[in-house]
Amino acid sequence: MVSQFSTFKFQLSVEDVLAKAQAKERSLDRGEISFLLSLSDSDDIAKFFAAAYEVKVKHIGRRVALRGIIEAGNICSKDCLYCGIRRSNGALGRYSLSEDDIYRLAEECAKENYASLVIQSGELESDAHTLFIERVLKRIEPLNLGVTLSLGEQSEEVYKRWRDAGAARYLLRIETSNKELYAKLHPTGHSWERRVECLRALRRTGYQVGTGVMSCLPCQSIDDLAQDIIFFGEMDVDMIGMGPYIPHPEAPLSSLYSQDVSNEERLLMGLKMIAATRLYLHDINIAAATALQALADDGREQGIMAGANVIMPNITDTQYRRNYQLYAGKPCLDENEEDYRSALEKRLTDLGETIVYGERGDSLHYARRVR
């Protein structure tokens, strides 16, 4: 990772910057956020994460919300250079779950009392897909789950139809707030401006809006990451889902740029991004992404201790998992299995956290901004 900050000394003190961030949200400037993201001393990093965790506890409590995530299909019209399910990856079996499959998984999610569901798939824009999702949403509405969609760029009209059909939240990662970097990571025809416009349209349509970025991307600086966090504030988002970039062997980005970044460094930067975002935006929902778990077995628990408050167990049937490998080493565990769930619960309880069952877990920030 290129850091333009490593060459000169900061006059800032870790304690002062953390105290300022805790006292008031959005109080840090880009330089101060970069300073936190650049910390390398393990005691300083421990203080940084502890301060972010304190902010999480103050606003949200020692509580973790679960969202069951359904990977509804891997057919994608996009060709993002980093992504394992990009259109040009011919080495992948493509699938789409049926309406019945999705309904069954949603029912299971309700039965497990997760109270909240994410439907995610490759990006598709067509009348048939719009109708399909609309039908699914109407069918699952009686289950009374907080439904998040993560189905990519769509027209405002489509967002509205899905909102009217019962979706309450939408997650669309901007991937990076740096337009030039975005252009390096995507082929022509992919537009950063359209993505921002989609985030605005989602906001107008009344969703709780989530976005996010990848960290440790090739050609990305610490300053870019600090700017990403400022961007989250400017867009006034309600939720964040973000994680480190992990190269995928079938995706061209991994061979276009050679990177000398270890898994430990990727995990650490993923955690630092969570902590800095929590210190900047106190009351939003922040997910500890699955990419963290790909880098360490307890990566998501580490994410919670750095300020995240949401975990999204994958409830897709295991047979489809290997075809939804966005990056190398994505876990294919059956996280809905009793054993897995009780292990997660125990690990979180050992950390002093309680899983909240039976609550939709709406973003506090959203509740405050629409009040």
Point out which residues bind ligand 5AD (CB under 6 A): 82-83, 173, 175, 214, 243, 245-246, 248, 291, 326-327
How many whole angstroms separate alpha carbon 302 and alpha carbon 245? 17
Rounded to 5°, the CA angle 45-212-230 comes to: 65
Which CB sits closer to ligand 5AD, 82 or 366?
Answer: 82
Which residue, 18, 27, 14, 17, is CA-closest to 281?
Answer: 27
Q: How far is the CB of 247 from ligand 5AD (least distance, A)?
A: 6
Q: How far is the CB of 225 from ligand 5AD (least distance, A)?
A: 14
Which CB sits closer to ligand 5AD, 278 or 330?
Answer: 330
Q: How far is the CB of 120 from ligand 5AD (least distance, A)?
A: 7
Q: How far is the CB of 243 from ligand 5AD (least distance, A)?
A: 6
Q: How far is the CB of 370 from ligand 5AD (least distance, A)?
A: 26
Which CB sits closer to ligand 5AD, 85 or 102?
Answer: 85
Q: How far is the CB of 53 from ligand 5AD (least distance, A)?
A: 24
Q: How far is the CB of 152 from ligand 5AD (least distance, A)?
A: 8
Q: Closest residue (Cβ) to ligand 5AD?
A: 327
Which CB sits closer to ligand 5AD, 61 or 249?
Answer: 249
Which CB sits closer to ligand 5AD, 237 or 246?
Answer: 246
At which residue do the structure tokens 């062997």 appear?
249
Q: How far is the CB of 246 from ligand 5AD (least distance, A)?
A: 4
Which CB sits closer to ligand 5AD, 18 or 274?
Answer: 274
Which CB sits closer to ligand 5AD, 169 or 248?
Answer: 248
Which CB sits closer to ligand 5AD, 60 or 218?
Answer: 218
The answer to whether the CB of 218 falls within 8 A of the CB of 259 is: yes
